[in-house]
Structure 1
Amino acid sequence: MECDEVRRNVPIAVQSPRSRPAFTLVELLVVIAIIGILVALLLPAVQAAREAARRTQCNNQLRQLVLAAHNYLSAQGTLPSHGDVPSHLSSHAKLLPYMEEQNLIDLVDQDKHWREQTALLELPLPFLRCPSGVPQLTAINGRDFGLSGGSRGDIRVAELTPHYVGNMGARPAKCTQGGGGRGGGGAWTTDPYATYMAKDIGCIDSAPSSSHGDGQSGGTARNGAIYPRSKIDFGDITDGSSKTIMYGELSWANVDVRQSPDENLTPPPFESWMVGSTTLGGLSDPNSAYGYIENAKNVRYGIEERALVDPVDKRPLTPGTDASLGSNHPGGTHLGMCDGSAQFVQKDVESDLLRAMASRAAGETNSPAF
């Protein structure tokens, strides 16, 4: 009985040999360090998985755009042209009724100029933008409407510019046979150059200065699949539809022209997905299709070789229609081919090969550099 009484009076901490003190500070720091190492190891894998998903989505979106062009061809007999009079709409706007989404069929009035459809100019279409792309400054039809900002327009960060641009074709280093910009010298008479330039309006033979651009469009190739006043069908793509680009990804460059010293010399960086050309001359003038071309590009340089004017970063610069294809995907960019496929092309692909893929009928795959 006395032993039991003594046992009852002993404190619990003394009775329990299994009790132990809390974590020490050193142990806590070790645990935190281990967790940090695990997070550091797992984070790149998570980011890589997310980028793989974004890249797959981008590829699918580009492929859907190319397939819509196939549907357009079946209905209209040709691939969509770009910036034609009198609507001056982009090929993207022309393809919306053929993308098998009911809400897109009547979205754009195909018979009206894009200036008359102002509500749509500020309507974002996410499926025309790469999920890995950077936010881009968009000029809301400033030259045509005289909005705030003068000739540059109402410039803002907006999700309005398509990241998939029509391929107007390859472009030689010089605009004309004899050299000299804006029509100087003689026209190209030898292949493949003779098939290249539809209009040399704004075509210059050298890059602008490193401070700001010179306001030139860059000229318009006509040996690709999507260009102003085109009437292309698959019979015209003699280089092979699987080897010819229809749309390419351009989602890598953000351009800020607001810091340029002379706004009258600097075109707005990008315009809404509806805009094919920003009108040169009267709306009924066929040449007005070759004004400032938006949302379609020549292939003159390699992937991510030339950006538009960017006075902040001082990158190598180029006129508007000569801006390089490129993306924020590691290692390269996507190309939508005329056969309905979309492929990822490495960033280091030779520019000569890329130009060969841009032309539809010059047969220059094995030709010397041009």
Structure 2
Amino acid sequence: MSLNRARIRRGFTLIELLVVIAIIAILIALLLPAVQQAREAARRSQCKNNLKQLGLALHNYHDTHSVFPPGALALNITNGVAYKSGDTEPGRTAVGGGWGWTVFVMPMLDQAPLYAALNPNGNNFPTTANATTKTVLSVFLCPSDPSGEIVTSTALGGDGATQGHARSNYPAIYGSGSVEYVHVDADATKGMFWYNSKVRIRDVTDGLSNSLAITERKWDGGDSETRRGAVWVGKCAGGPANAGNKYANLVRADNDPDWLVNANNKITPANSTNAASSQHVGGVQFLMGDGSVRFLSENTSGATYKLLGQKADGEIIGEF
């Protein structure tokens, strides 16, 4: 009888089973954030690599043409008179849609066939999306942004003109003035890119390493009250009645609550939808003029941010 008792094996009690389950749950809870952080670190690294590729493409373009590409084109300007945002005066010339800076660097990104298919010359900018402008290019997409590859928002185009084109996350730094097709504000041309810009390295007197060139802008995947992202093809549509969105490839760097890095995480103010923003925690990655990539905290002061966005203000920012 005693021998049989010795051979009896005890199973797990309910309490022991619950303890084991609790320990496993705690381990999983500790592990998941680490896995997510590792994944985001990898995505952020890929985003940084995208920006570095764009920086190399910009400098290769400059080596070829002795000038950086225009931020975007504004066409059909005649006699020095053209449409400016808010104009309703008769006789103003409608500004045609223009190709974005991203199109001009495509041959430097091993996309010469796509560039040839687009054939960006004069007034042949597409008024609606087509198979070519729907081409999704990973170099223009931040992997941390889960939004769709094709823009469906009507907000970015104002009149829906950017719908259907492939998305981008990387607009160029315009300066601190209001983005317009025709410039009346001196701050408009203080950045490295604007409409019909022709900036040379020698024009960046603050130093390429102290001047912002390209940034990020996320798209929340929605419509008018969300951050709008960008499209690589350029500004879509034109004219007072069909203006499109001037920020499709450009972004302001300004000392204004609506234009700061991540725009103080605000969504509803009209301007903050176009501000530099990202899905990275705490800030946004920027390509500097020299091809390096810097991460600017969303707590960066507006005064510092504005100066970094200007290429020749004589103010050199040592630490930022």
TM class, shorter-length: 0.7 to 0.9
Query: Structure 1 pair 199/102, CA: closer, same or farther in 2 (3 Å)?
Result: closer
What letter corresponds to residue 138 of structure 1 in structure 2? V
How far the C-alpha of 1:306 sits from its partner, in A, is: 6.3
1:129 counterpart residue number: 141
Q: Distance in 1 between matches of 2:31 and 2:233?
A: 42
Letter in 2 for 1:349: T
TM-score under structure 1 length normalisation: 0.67
- Offset, 1:121: 2.6
Counterpart mapping for 1:95-114 below 5 A: 95-100=105-110, 104=114, 106-111=116-121, 112-114=124-126
Are residues 1:324 and 2:278 paired? no
| 1:279 matched to 2:238 | yes
Residue equivalent to 1:212: none
Return the TM-score normalized by structure 2: 0.76
SS in 1 for 2:195: coil
Q: 2:263 aligns with which of 289, 293, 305?
A: 305
Residue pairs, 1:136-285, within 5 angstroms: 138-139=151-152, 151-153=159-161, 160-171=166-177, 199=182, 221-251=188-218, 253-257=220-224, 269=228, 272-280=231-239
Structure 2 letter corresponding to 1:318: N
Q: Count matched residues.
A: 288
Gaps of 5+ in 2: 76-96
Cα 1:75–1:276 shift into 2, 3 Å: farther
Aligned to 1:360: 311
CA RMSD of aligned residues (A): 3.7
Asked if structure 2 preserves the Cα contact closer than 8 Å seen for 1:242 and 1:339, the reply is yes
In the aligned structure 2, how far is the partner of 1:335 from the partner of 1:360?
14
State the secondary structure of the residue aligned to 1:84: coil
Q: In structure 2, the residue corresponding to 1:199 is in which secondary structure? A: coil
User: What is the distance in 2 between the residues matched to 1:90 and 1:79?
Assistant: 12
CA contact (8 A) 2:169 2:230 kept: no
State how far apart, in whole Å, the 1-side matches of 2:283 and 2:49 are: 16
Amino-acid identity (%)? 28
Deviation at 1:123, TM superposition (A): 2.2
Shift of 1:81: 0.3
Once the two structures are superposed, what CA deviation does each residue of 1:26-80 show, in whole Å capped at 9, x if it has no partner? 2111111000000111111111111111111111101111110111111112101
1:51 aligns with one of 30, 40, 46: 40
* Consecutive unaligned residues in structure 1, runs of 5 or more: 1-9, 145-149, 176-195, 204-218, 260-267, 283-287
**CA positional deviation for 1:235:** 0.3
Aligned to 1:334: 285
Distance (whole Å) between structure 1 residues aligned to residue 154 and residue 131 of structure 2? 12
